[in-house]
Amino acid sequence: MSAVIQGTDLHKTYAQGAIEVPALRGVDLTVEPGEFTALVGPSGSGKSTLLNLVGTLDKPTSGSIQVAGHDVTNLKRADSATFRLTHIGFVFQAYNLLPVLTAYENAEYTLLLQGVAAAERRAIVTPLLERVGLQTMFDRKPHELSGGQQQRVAVARALASKPSLVLADEPTANLDSETSEELLDLMVELNTQDGVTFVFASHDDTVVSRARRVVTLRDGLIATDERT
């Protein structure tokens, strides 16, 4: 199988008034199917910028990037949204659940946007929510769930469309240590048993300890790339 991510000589510069600030300064990154990779580094190192480029939430200033065999370097906004909908699952620090929807409705939301029929959505989402330990919480709204439970809904939502890649941006930042461990156990299980490709951006040592590959960024460059 071809690489899930192929980034070549990626540069990203942001304008702050009349000053240009480089966030990435020539990054090459290849991620193969089934990897469990953590992007780490101090604030301002470029890890979140790199994750945003991979997720088509931003475009590189120069260089090229392919995701799931598609060149996403210069996708237009609408095309980027369509690509994300069909190829990438996201797990965010702030959960990003819709407060008016139940856990089940949040988990099925991507499938709903894709136009998947109700019966097929139920056949996909029901076992997913059971898999993440929420079998008795389908009808609860986000405010009725703990932080860890909300993040489990987010994981189910990310996996519902069977994406090529799941991107997780500081997914444990708002969770206590025990809940973080439980969530990471779940992600490791999904990676090892189902082959889901995960890429994290994180400061959390718990995430780093579980990763089988740790890519350290510093000053917009890859400083080290280690596999365990």
Q: Indicate the residue type of 64.
A: S
Q: Residue 105: what pLDDT?
A: 97
Neighbours of 151 (CB within 10 A): 28
Sorted by where each begins, the domain ranges of the chain are 5-227
Neighbours of 188 (CB within 10 A): 15
Output the six-digit token pair for 162. 């069977």
Q: What is the mean pLDDT of the chain?
A: 93
Q: Give CA angle at 182 (215, 204), nearest 5°.
A: 30
Q: Residue 44: what pLDDT?
A: 87
Task: Flag whether the pTM goes above 0.85.
Answer: yes
Q: Which CATH number describes the domain made up of 5-227? A: 3.40.50.300
- 1: pLDDT strictly greater than 80: no
- pLDDT tens per residue across span 93-123: 888 999 999 999 999 999 999 999 999 999 9
- pLDDT tens per residue across span 44-67: 899 999 999 999 999 999 999 999
CA distance linking residue 11 with residue 90, whole number of Å: 23
